[in-house]
């Protein structure tokens, strides 16, 4: 790595991107919380979800604010999820990794503006992957705004920096199409054969975004690595818990059905004796074949693995 770039010490650039990454991590937390709820990401200012009090600027310093508060709101002492510092720290580390990636892609010859251009597209890609990962983990869905913006940025990067990324505009468009269309077809075939939903169309658009950004050649690894890593989580989950997590929409449907059953008009048939214990929702299925886990986080993880280690992985997955 160079000692200076355009006369600026490299250590200063590293500190700068670390701070930028942490700041964008704080913004990512706003996006993760508000976008699924349909709220503005601009107004109002950050507030405690429990008491509604505005968070003071000095309590909103990435990572340090959470540590100094002991993970609790200053006003009502309600706990603040560890997700907030985790996202901020992750974005800081990813921002630094994107700087090293930019220097490597430029061969150490880019000036500061050129380096910034090579940094911003991978960093924006990582930002979107982190945001949609945490949304998918909580809500089991991927807002289309993330993937549509990410796809547009991926195609733009292919037009602006093809020499440095080996992903030209044709490679980007092919990656977008061949990442999304086969999976969309597979979803339709699977649904018609089983009458059950497998992957969602949020995953389809995510694969289109990944293909547009990383190119067609990344897709074999993305498909394989995300599937293996998903199984490594799903199998222990099923073995330990005996069933996979219930998607939020199915839990809501079960709760509505249970409520409807308790309020239904009595019929002439004998009814079971009432009980004071609440009825638990029985999982729809059991066993690995029906295991349900959000797939977006595993696609995102595989995409980051290719982004930062693609040159090494190409020797394994490409002829």
pLDDT, one tens digit per residue, over 12-57 is: 999 999 999 999 999 999 999 999 999 999 888 888 888 888 888 8
Closest by Cα among 202, 178, 175, 198 to 186: 198
pLDDT at residue 198 in the model: 61
pLDDT at residue 31 in the model: 95
DSSP for 243-269, written as a single string: SPPPPHHHHHHHHHHHHHHHHSPP-SS
pTM, two decimals, is 0.83
Q: Which pLDDT band, with edges at 50, 70 and 90, does 274 fall under?
A: very low
Residues 119 and 319: their CA atoms lie apart, in Å, by 29
Q: Which pLDDT band, with edges at 50, 70 and 90, does 110 fall under?
A: confident
DSSP for the chain, written as a single string: --SEETTEEHHHHHHHHHHHHHHHHHHHHHHHHHGGGT--SSSS--B-TTT-PBPPGGG-STTHHHHHTTTB-TTT--B--THHHHHHHHHHHHHHHHHHHHHHHHTT---HHHHHHHHHHHHHHHHHHHHHHHHHHHHS---HHHHHHHHHHHHHHHHHSHHHHS--HHHHHHHHHHHHHHHHHHHHHHHHHHSS--S-HHHHHHHHHHHHHH-GGGHHHHHHHHHHHHHHHHHHHHHHHSSPPPPHHHHHHHHHHHHHHHHSPP-SS--PPP-SSPPPPPPS--SGGG----SHHHHHHHHHHHHHHHHHHHHHH--
Highest mean pLDDT among 25-29, 286-290, 293-297: 25-29
In the chain, the percentage of residues whose pLDDT exceeds 70 is: 80
pLDDT at residue 312 in the model: 85
How many Cβ atoms sit within 10 Å of the Cβ of residue 75? 15
Closest by Cα among 155, 282, 261 to 211: 155
């Amino acid at each position: 790595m160079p000692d200076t770039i355009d006369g600026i010490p490299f250590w200063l650039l590293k500190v700068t991107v670390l701070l930028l990454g942490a700041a964008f991590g704080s913004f990512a937390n706003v996006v993760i919380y508000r976008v699924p709820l349909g709220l503005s990401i601009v107004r109002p200012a950050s507030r405690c979800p429990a008491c509604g009090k505005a968070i003071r600027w000095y309590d909103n310093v990435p990572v340090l604010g959470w540590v100094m508060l002991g993970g609790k709101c200053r006003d009502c002492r309600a706990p603040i999820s560890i997700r907030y510092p985790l996202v901020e720290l992750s974005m800081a580390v990813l921002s630094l990794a994107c700087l090293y990636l930019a220097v490597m892609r430029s061969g150490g010859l880019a000036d500061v503006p050129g380096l910034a251009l090579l940094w911003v597209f991978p960093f924006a890609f990582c930002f979107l992957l982190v945001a949609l990962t945490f949304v998918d983990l909580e809500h089991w869905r991927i807002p289309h705004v993330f993937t549509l913006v990410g796809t547009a940025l991926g195609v733009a990067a292919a037009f602006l920096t093809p020499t440095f990324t080996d992903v030209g505009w044709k490679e980007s468009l092919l990656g977008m199409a061949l990442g999304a269309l086969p999976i969309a077809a597979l979803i339709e075939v699977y649904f018609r054969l089983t009458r059950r939903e497998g992957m969602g169309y949020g995953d389809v658009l995510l694969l289109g975004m990944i293909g547009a950004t990383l190119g067609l050649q990344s897709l074999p690894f993305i498909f394989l690595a995300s599937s293996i890593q998903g199984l490594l989580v799903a199998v222990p989950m099923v073995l330990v818990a005996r069933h996979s997590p219930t998607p939020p929409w199915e839990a809501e449907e079960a709760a509505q059905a249970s409520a409807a059953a308790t309020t239904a008009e009595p019929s002439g048939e004998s009814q079971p004796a009432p009980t004071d214990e609440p009825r638990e929702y029985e999982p729809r299925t059991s066993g690995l074949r029906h295991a349900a886990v959000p797939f977006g986080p595993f696609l995102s993880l595989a995409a980051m693995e290719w982004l930062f280690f693609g040159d090494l992985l190409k020797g394994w997955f490409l002829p």
